[in-house]
Amino acid sequence: MAFIVQKFGGTSVASTERIRNVARRVAKWCAAGHQVVVVPSAMSGETNRLIGLARELQEEPDPRELDVVASTGEQVTVGLLSMALMAQGVKARSYTGWQVKVLTDSAFTKARILGIDEQRLREDLAAGIVPVVAGFQGIDAHGNLTTLGRGGSDTSAVALAAALKADECLIFTDVDGVYTTDPRIVPEARRLATITFEEMLEMASLGSKVLQIRSVEFAGKYRVRLRVLSSLTDPDLPVAVEAQSGTLITFEEDEQMEQAVISGIAFARDEAKLTVTGVPDRPGIAYAILGPVGDANIDVDMIIQNASVDGLTDFSFTVPRGDYSRALQILENVKSHIGARAILGDNRICKVSMVGVGMRTHAGIASRMFRTLSEEGINIQMISTSEIKISAVVDEKYLELAVRVLHKAFDLEQGAA
Ligand code: ADP
Ligand code: ASP
Ligand code: MG
């Protein structure tokens, strides 16, 4: 007998028919003698709909109230799924985040989980009841409802698996695993049987939305065995087959197989670039520019400072696109203070990144990437590298082309050697 946390994403619970299939799948695991905790997301499109309603009433919805509204999507699915399980003859009980309770900080719309009281869930499991716990939500120390950021049900599931010391956390979704890149962009993308935590962390942080980045962080920190697999296969697929399907996120040291140099390509559309031109090249200038941006809680990603000419330099950096106009305004405010010539901005850029632990031991990946992009006439505006990734900022209009040509150039396709 194993103890498994199973998370089902929005597409997997998009209709009562799909919810019934999820219940069949869960019932199958229970019948095979496993203990299961289920974590569903809201029905697909529901969280967007709820946020849309909020925006109709307030241009920038109040974050506390937005969480009250956005968290209702998951309350519906836990109730419905529990009913579907009961209809299958499985004892089940639904829980909201606050009923559990999933304690978070008070950062509305992007709260972090601080702890989980697993007592009631353990009691249910001991009594043969399947707890169905709402993903994406928690409660802060003052009793306010919170949500964990978009895609946050992944993190709820992994955090529950960590708190309950589950044997494995299964993330059921609308693809049958983690691919070399988003299969919606490159249909020839190949499913990976395994990927290391480190690579998955990079892929998620560089834009692959298949897993929320915090879920991967949690899994790495608490050594949760994590697998991504399809919820759209035959629900009666034998448990032994299903248990081995999809993509297993592994710890590198456990990895037996020979590693490919590049495991995958990630991309992020929601980026923007700001450039401050003609600033004096003196100590403190980076702080003078980026300090106020950081004070406004805006995350800065890539940073480039050009060589100075006649004591003046240009300074560029990227921010999330949602923070673009705020960042531009901040720079306009400090422009005269720092003695800049001009503030330029571009919110039609994207970031394309190649990820692979094999980069540590193989040289020449960056130059091959740059050559491939240049052969397509794609101009690289910014570059950043780490031990296991290379990112390039390019014009947004080249995003799909860049991902496709890199995928081909690095032989990541199905059937490639
Ligand atoms: P869920 O609602 O189940 O949480 P998501 O939409 O959040 O599902 O995540 C699954 C989607 O992630 C897939 O449909 C796919 O388009 C996208 N995706 C992005 N990058 C990848 C990748 N490297 N491998 C697999 N899927 C990816
Ligand atoms: N329903 C939430 C969202 O759409 C959480 C999730 O799906 O993981 O972001
Ligand atoms: Mg998701």
- pLDDT of 1 above 90: no
Taking residues 318-341, report their average pLDDT.
Answer: 94
Higher pLDDT, 416 or 14: 14
pLDDT of residue 372: 98
- pLDDT of 114 above 80: yes
Minimum-distance ligand to the CA of 189?
A: 1
- pLDDT of 58 above 60: yes
Taking residues 281-291, report their average pLDDT.
Answer: 92
CB distance 174 to ligand 1 below 6 Å: yes
The 10s digit of each residue's pLDDT in 187-214 is 999 999 999 999 999 999 999 999 999 9
Residues pairing with 93 in the sheet:
131
- pLDDT of 138 above 60: yes
- pLDDT of 406 above 60: yes
pLDDT of residue 363: 87
- DSSP, res 93: E
Q: CA-CA distance, 293 to 280, in Å (whole number)?
A: 19
Neighbours of 191 (CB within 10 A): 17
CB distance 10 to ligand 1 below 6 Å: yes
Taking residues 226-231, report their average pLDDT.
Answer: 97
- Closest atom, ligand 2, to C-alpha of 156: 8
Distances (CA, A) of 270 to 25, 128, 276, 323: 36, 45, 21, 10
Residue nearest to atom 8 of ligand 2 (CA): 151
- pLDDT of 257 above 80: no
Q: Identify the band that residue 293 occupies on the pLDDT scale cut at 50, 70 and 90.
A: very high
Residue 404: phi and psi, rounded to 5, are -65, -45
CA 385, distance to chain mean position in Å, is 20
The 10s digit of each residue's pLDDT in 368-377 is 999 999 999 9
Q: Are 317 and 290 in contact (CB under 8 A)?
A: yes
Residue 320: phi and psi, rounded to 5, are -60, 145
Tokens of 121: 């869930």
Of 21-30, 91-100, 297-306, minimum mean pLDDT range: 297-306
Minimum-distance ligand to the CA of 70?
A: 2
- Closest atom, ligand 1, to C-alpha of 208: 20
* Helix, strand or coil, per DSSP, at residue 103: strand
CA 278, distance to chain mean position in Å, is 37
- pLDDT of 417 above 90: no
b/e string for 158-185 if b means 16 or more Cβ within 10 A?
A: bbbbbbbebebbbbbbebbbbbbbbbee
pLDDT of residue 260: 78
CA 206, distance to chain mean position in Å, is 9
- pLDDT of 280 above 70: yes
Q: Are 133 and 100 in contact (CB under 8 A)?
A: yes
Amino acid at 90: V
- Closest atom, ligand 2, to C-alpha of 136: 5
CB distance 181 to ligand 1 below 6 Å: yes
Could you tell which of 6, 43, 173 is best to mutate to test the pocket of ligand 1, judged by most ligand atoms within 8 Å of the CB? 173
Q: Identify the band that residue 416 occupies on the pLDDT scale cut at 50, 70 and 90.
A: low
pLDDT of residue 297: 86
- Averaged confidence pLDDT in the chain: 95
Beta strands in 324-365 (DSSP E): 342-355
Q: Are 7 and 40 in contact (CB under 8 A)?
A: yes
Could you tell which of 6, 38, 39, 41 is best to mutate to test the pocket of ligand 2, judged by most ligand atoms within 8 Å of the CB? 41
Of 164-173, 240-249, 359-368, minimum mean pLDDT range: 359-368
- DSSP, res 43: P
- pLDDT of 92 above 70: yes
CB distance 131 to ligand 2 below 6 Å: no
Taking residues 334-356, report their average pLDDT.
Answer: 95
Taking residues 170-180, report their average pLDDT.
Answer: 97
CA angle 323-385-155, nearest 5°? 55
Minimum-distance ligand to the CA of 171?
A: 1
Strand 130-133: give its sheet, edge to edge: 92-95, 130-133, 35-40, 3-8, 168-173, 226-230, 247-250, 194-196
pLDDT of residue 217: 95
CB distance 208 to ligand 1 below 6 Å: yes
CB distance 269 to ligand 1 below 6 Å: no
Q: Identify the band that residue 399 occupies on the pLDDT scale cut at 50, 70 and 90.
A: very high
pLDDT of residue 254: 55
Taking residues 304-318, report their average pLDDT.
Answer: 90
pTM exceeds cut of 0.85: yes
Find where tokens 């890539």 sit. Answer: 302
Find where tokens 């897993």 sit. Answer: 211
The alpha carbon of 88 and the centre of ligand 3 are apart by a number of angstroms equal to 26
Taking residues 222-240, report their average pLDDT.
Answer: 96
CB distance 173 to ligand 1 below 6 Å: yes
Higher pLDDT, 77 or 283: 77
Taking residues 359-365, report their average pLDDT.
Answer: 89
The alpha carbon of 344 and the centre of ligand 1 are apart by a number of angstroms equal to 34
Q: Identify the band that residue 253 occupies on the pLDDT scale cut at 50, 70 and 90.
A: low
- pLDDT of 414 above 80: no
- Residues flanking ion ligand 3, Cβ below 5 Å: 9, 151
CA angle 390-393-398, nearest 5°? 115
CA 137, distance to chain mean position in Å, is 16
pLDDT of residue 361: 87
Q: Identify the band that residue 255 occupies on the pLDDT scale cut at 50, 70 and 90.
A: low
Taking residues 85-92, report their average pLDDT.
Answer: 98
CB distance 175 to ligand 1 below 6 Å: yes
Strand 137-139: give its sheet, edge to edge: 113-116, 102-104, 137-139, 145-147
Amino acid at 268: A
